């Protein structure tokens, strides 16, 4: 475990559970948390306005199999934090480690590869490719990684079965309900066996009943695949299912 990981509370008792056998043979990784952020700052400077300080020294470590909910007012920087944890953005200061790799040491191409291989994303809007079938949508990250097409197809079909869509492999997004499309997005997020699943308002565009179904699915898949889960949400019911609930306010992340 890195010195930073030793200082950042992970579980309630401050312990970490490195998931034995999680990493591919021969891959050198840190023994600590799958995702670790230390001292994150993110500022934006407008063309003529003052500098906006969105995050102010955020520390966060996610443990294997742990679910963390991040709540806060609209505009508080929750999505900004998630984008930094997922290497979609770079911090103004501080560090993000994914599987022990410091994202700051990577070029854009290397960061994109790490993101595709080790981070699964689920957004409020599913962002499925409309002309691709459910099966093809789930296969895409594996094909980008260079996996054998038949192996990718088999794994995608298995995941779609796990999310309850085993009979809908050949359907395109327009032939699926909103909840079904989000299930496809969850399967796609897991196809490369990521270390962490990052979900940004994953039920925000769904009705109440469908929202609960997708909530249950996220936590079921988190348990089944042993990934860390960080979810940004305004949904109190969804947040209450996480082991930890953190509030982002005025750029500071605190326990609720």
SS3 41: strand
pLDDT at 204: 79
Half-sphere exposure of residue 132, counting CA atoms within 13 Å on the CB side? Answer: 14
CB 237 within 8 A of CB 215: yes
Least confident of 7-16, 57-66, 207-216: 7-16
Residue 22 has pLDDT above 50, yes or no: no
19: β partners: none
The helix or strand, by DSSP H or E, that contains position 1, with its residue range, turns out to be none
> What is the reported pLDDT for 162?
95
- Return phi, psi of residue 228, to 5°: -75, 150
Sheet (strand 244-249) strand order: 119-123, 196-200, 228-232, 67-71, 244-249, 252-255
> Are 163 and 122 contacting, i.e. CB atoms less than 8 angstroms apart?
no
- For the stretch 178-228, pLDDT in tens is 899 999 999 999 999 999 999 988 887 788 898 899 889 999 999 999 999
- The DSSP H or E segment spanning 87 is none
């Amino acid at each position: 475990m890195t010195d930073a990981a030793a200082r950042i509370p992970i579980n309630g008792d401050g312990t970490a559970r490195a998931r034995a056998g999680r990493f591919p043979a021969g891959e050198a990784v840190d023994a600590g948390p799958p995702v670790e952020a230390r001292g994150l700052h993110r500022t934006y400077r407008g063309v003529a306005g003052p500098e906006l300080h969105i995050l102010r020294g955020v520390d966060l470590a996610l443990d294997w199999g742990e679910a963390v909910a991040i709540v806060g007012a609209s505009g508080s920087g929750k999505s900004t934090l998630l984008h930094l944890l997922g290497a979609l953005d770079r911090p103004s200061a501080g560090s993000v480690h994914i599987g022990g790799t410091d994202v700051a040491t990577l070029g854009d191409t290397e960061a994109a590869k790490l993101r595709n291989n080790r981070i699964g994303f689920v957004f409020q809007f599913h962002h499925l490719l409309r002309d691709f079938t459910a099966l093809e949508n789930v296969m895409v990250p594996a094909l980008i990684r260079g996996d054998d097409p038949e192996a990718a197809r088999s794994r995608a079909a298995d995941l779609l079965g796990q999310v309850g869509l085993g009979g809908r492999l050949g359907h395109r997004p327009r032939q699926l309900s909103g909840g079904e499309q989000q299930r496809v997005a969850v399967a796609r997020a897991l196809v490369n066996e990521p270390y962490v699943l990052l979900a940004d308002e994953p039920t925000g565009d769904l009705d109440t009943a469908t929202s609960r179904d997708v909530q249950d699915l996220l936590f079921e898949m988190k348990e089944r695949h042993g990934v860390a889960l960080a979810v940004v949400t305004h949904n109190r019911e969804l947040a209450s299912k996480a082991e930890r609930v953190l509030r982002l306010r005025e750029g500071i992340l605190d326990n609720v």
